[in-house]
Amino acid sequence: MSHIPTQRRNEISIGTLSGRTGLAVSAIRYYETQGLVAPERNAGGQRRFLRSDIRRLSFVMIAQKFGFTLDRIREVLGRLPEKRTPTAADWTDISHDFRVELDAQIAALTRLRDKLDGCIGCGCLSLDRCALYNPDDAAGEKGAGPRYLLGDEVVKSDG
Amino acid sequence: MSHIPTQRRNEISIGTLSGRTGLAVSAIRYYETQGLVAPERNAGGQRRFLRSDIRRLSFVMIAQKFGFTLDRIREVLGRLPEKRTPTAADWTDISHDFRVELDAQIAALTRLRDKLDGCIGCGCLSLDRCALYNPDDAAGEKGAGPRYLLGDEVVKSDG
DNA sequence: ATAATTCCTAAACCTAACTTTAGCTCAAGT
DNA sequence: ACTTGAGCTAAAGTTAGGTTTAGGAATTAT
């Protein structure tokens, strides 16, 4: 029992992971409950993450920027190889999937905007004939709770 | 006290408004608490809306499809004339404002997507050099609670 | 006149994505 | 050895956008 280090080469603490990703410690714990990371525990019961979890959580953050839910992100992460540290190629693969969904979302939003243009022209903006009323575009119903398509703030290039 | 009608020509009940807009009665009441409509009350304490509230709530629904929050929608509605029923031109004006914000959002999303392309190319996808890491794009921090950019589902053209 | 709707309020519940708080334990530095 | 900082869990709180429930009151239909 001399000096077995608590934090070995390839294992990092939650605080270190927080520092490297910019995520709050509480957020990382929450992500664990959501199945987005699965750290081991050391003898004292503290979480020990892999270095590759830095990249994993970074991916989560980026996907969130794109508006994907944690559920969807968990699904996509499930396509990474289990018993091997993911390679750059693995990450490229799943990023490509996101790219496809993202294109679809941009297209949907653009279609909706174009319909708005039509409605600005005709001034109807409300009743049954209005193209904006056909509910086949944009977010659909999915049980209780809120549904969003876009955030609440326009992006600013600079303050 | 013979026949003073409870629901006069230009006044409609919450149920009628619900039927005309497709909104749930509970949603309309909620919108009232959020300052999106301000119905009067009849002698019995029941809400009496104006016919023009049909269009008003329709506008709310459309703006929500575009992803605007109720707060933002309330702001925009505040720019309608107070003591006069809004004309088609009034609606066109505020729709045009939305159009501008919408364009900005589409552009921001497209920029973000293009950065993802760059990252697919380089395979970095995580660390400090990554363009996706610069937090100057997409939704920023705004206190506690969730922040979203895009919804959780890709639009489907058909089931 | 009475039954069936519709409407009312207040409070609780729901989801997503977290944060905060309370009360302890573990690990690190001196 | 001991103090401090970091970590732990469980539970409650937060925001947005509503829905659900409970228990009455007003309207409408017959």
Based on the fold, state whether residues B105 and B59 are members of the same structural domain: no
The reply to whether B159 falls in a domain is no
Based on the fold, state whether residues B80 and B92 are members of the same structural domain: no
Based on the fold, state whether residues A37 and A48 are members of the same structural domain: yes
Evaluate whether A31 touches A37 at the Cβ level (below 8 Å). yes
Based on the fold, state whether residues A68 and A103 are members of the same structural domain: no
Q: Say if the Cβ atoms of A148 and B67 lie within 8 Å.
A: yes
Based on the fold, state whether residues A65 and A108 are members of the same structural domain: no
The reply to whether B144 falls in a domain is no
Per the prediction, chain A carries an average pLDDT of 76
Q: Which residues touch strand D (CB under 7 A)?
A: A 13-16, 18, 25, 29, 45-47, 144-146, 152; B 6-7, 24, 26-27, 29-31, 42-46, 64, 69-71, 143-146
Q: Which two tokens stand for residue B104?
A: 């900005």
Sign of CA dihedral A9, A11, A15, A18: positive
Q: Which of A75, A79, A74 is nearest to A93 (CA)?
A: A79
The reply to whether B122 falls in a domain is yes
Based on the fold, state whether residues B81 and B105 are members of the same structural domain: no
Number of domains in chain A: 2
The reply to whether A3 falls in a domain is no
| Distance in Å, alpha carbon of B46 to nearest chain A alpha carbon | 25
Quick: pLDDT tens for A28-72.
999 999 999 999 999 999 999 999 999 899 999 988 888 899 999
| Distance in Å, alpha carbon of B153 to nearest chain A alpha carbon | 7
The reply to whether A152 falls in a domain is no
Round to whole Å and give the CA distance between B136 and A77. Answer: 25
Tell me how many degrees the CA angle B33-B35-B37 measures, rounded to the nearest 5: 100
Based on the fold, state whether residues A64 and A96 are members of the same structural domain: no
The whole-number Å distance from B24's CA to D19's C1' is 9
pLDDT at B156 > cutoff 60: no
The reply to whether A109 falls in a domain is yes
Quick: pLDDT tens for B91-104.
888 888 888 888 98
Based on the fold, state whether residues B93 and B81 are members of the same structural domain: no
- Between the alpha carbon of residue B144 and those of residues A68, B99, B126, B141, the distances in Å are 19, 29, 25, 8
| Distance in Å, alpha carbon of A95 to nearest chain B alpha carbon | 7
CATH number, residue A22: 1.10.1660.10
Based on the fold, state whether residues A20 and A80 are members of the same structural domain: yes
Based on the fold, state whether residues A74 and A98 are members of the same structural domain: no
pLDDT at B158 > cutoff 80: no
Per the prediction, chain B carries an average pLDDT of 77
Instruction: Write the residue in A95, A132, A150 that is nearest to B62 by C-beta.
Output: A132
The reply to whether A48 falls in a domain is yes
Percent residues over pLDDT 90 in chain A: 38
Is some CB atom of chain A closer than 8 A to the CB atom of B99? yes
Identify how many contiguous H helices and E strands chain A contains and give both numbers: 5, 3
Q: In what order do the strands lie in the sheet with B40-41?
A: B11-12, B47-50, B40-41
Nearest protein residue to the C1' atom of C17, measured from CA: B146
Q: Say if the Cβ atoms of A65 and B139 lie within 8 Å.
A: yes
Round to whole Å and give the CA distance between A66 and A122. Answer: 33
A92: left (phi over 0), alpha (psi -120 to 50) or beta: alpha
Quick: pLDDT tens for A89-104.
888 888 888 888 888 8
Range among A118-122, A139-143, B87-91 rated most confident: B87-91
Scanning every strand, the nucleotide with its C1' closest to B45's CA turns out to be: C8
Residue type for B75, please? E
Is some CB atom of chain B closer than 8 A to the CB atom of A109? yes
Which secondary-structure segment (H or E) carries A50? Answer: strand A47-50
Based on the fold, state whether residues A42 and A95 are members of the same structural domain: no
Based on the fold, state whether residues B28 and B50 are members of the same structural domain: yes
The reply to whether A106 falls in a domain is yes
Q: Say if the Cβ atoms of A65 and B99 lie within 8 Å.
A: no
Q: Which domain holds residue A91?
A: 87-137
Which residue did the predictor score with more confidence, A101 or B44?
A: B44
Q: Say if the Cβ atoms of B151 and A148 lie within 8 Å.
A: yes
